[in-house]
Amino acid sequence: MENLEKVMPSEERLELGACVIVECFEQIPCNPCVDACPKGAIEIKGNINNLPEVNFEKCTGCGLCISSCPGLAIFMIDRNYSARTTTTNNDHEFGLVMLPYEFLPLPKADDIVEGLSREGKKLCDAKVIRVLLTKKQDRTAIISILVPQKLVMEVRNIRIPE
């Protein structure tokens, strides 16, 4: 939790809309996320082994950095997604999580999947909003899911129920 607190945007930034969360806590020589961000919101200061830092004032929540991370450590959240979109009455207290996904089969839009914690425990059912296949060679998919608003910082993977 101490590491997570260091990478979290402020409450004010979370209220503004989508933003990236970089949960990279290992000092290794890696920087594809820096090159992937069109706004220059992700930086690695000094040595390439240093941890990436997000400038939340520059981050637009586009999600282009998600599939660039070989460690699958980048997520985008929009805590108040359903308040800003046209949704059904049942979706009024949901947030959006965009996460990398490298398993087959891929879910489809409108599928109901299990939202999992960082430890792989089921936290909730989640509705798939979008499945984006990247054009990059690694073909990491980006799955956008609706989760209960209180769980946007907890859901970090999905499982397709059998």
- Determine the pLDDT at residue 85: 64
pLDDT band at 82 (very low <50, low <70, confident <90, very high): confident
d(CA 53, CA 44): 6
Which one is predicted more confidently, 84 or 123?
Answer: 123
**pLDDT tens digit sequence for 2-30:** 777 778 888 888 888 899 999 998 899 99
Give the chain's domain count: 1
- Determine the pLDDT at residue 143: 96
- Determine the pLDDT at residue 120: 95
- Determine the pLDDT at residue 81: 85
- Determine the pLDDT at residue 137: 57
Say whether the peptide bond before residue 105 is cis (omega within 30 degrees of 0): yes
pTM flag (> 0.85): yes
d(CA 69, CA 36): 9
- Please check the confidence at residue 105 and state whether its pLDDT lies above 60: yes
What is the domain extent for residue 7? 2-159
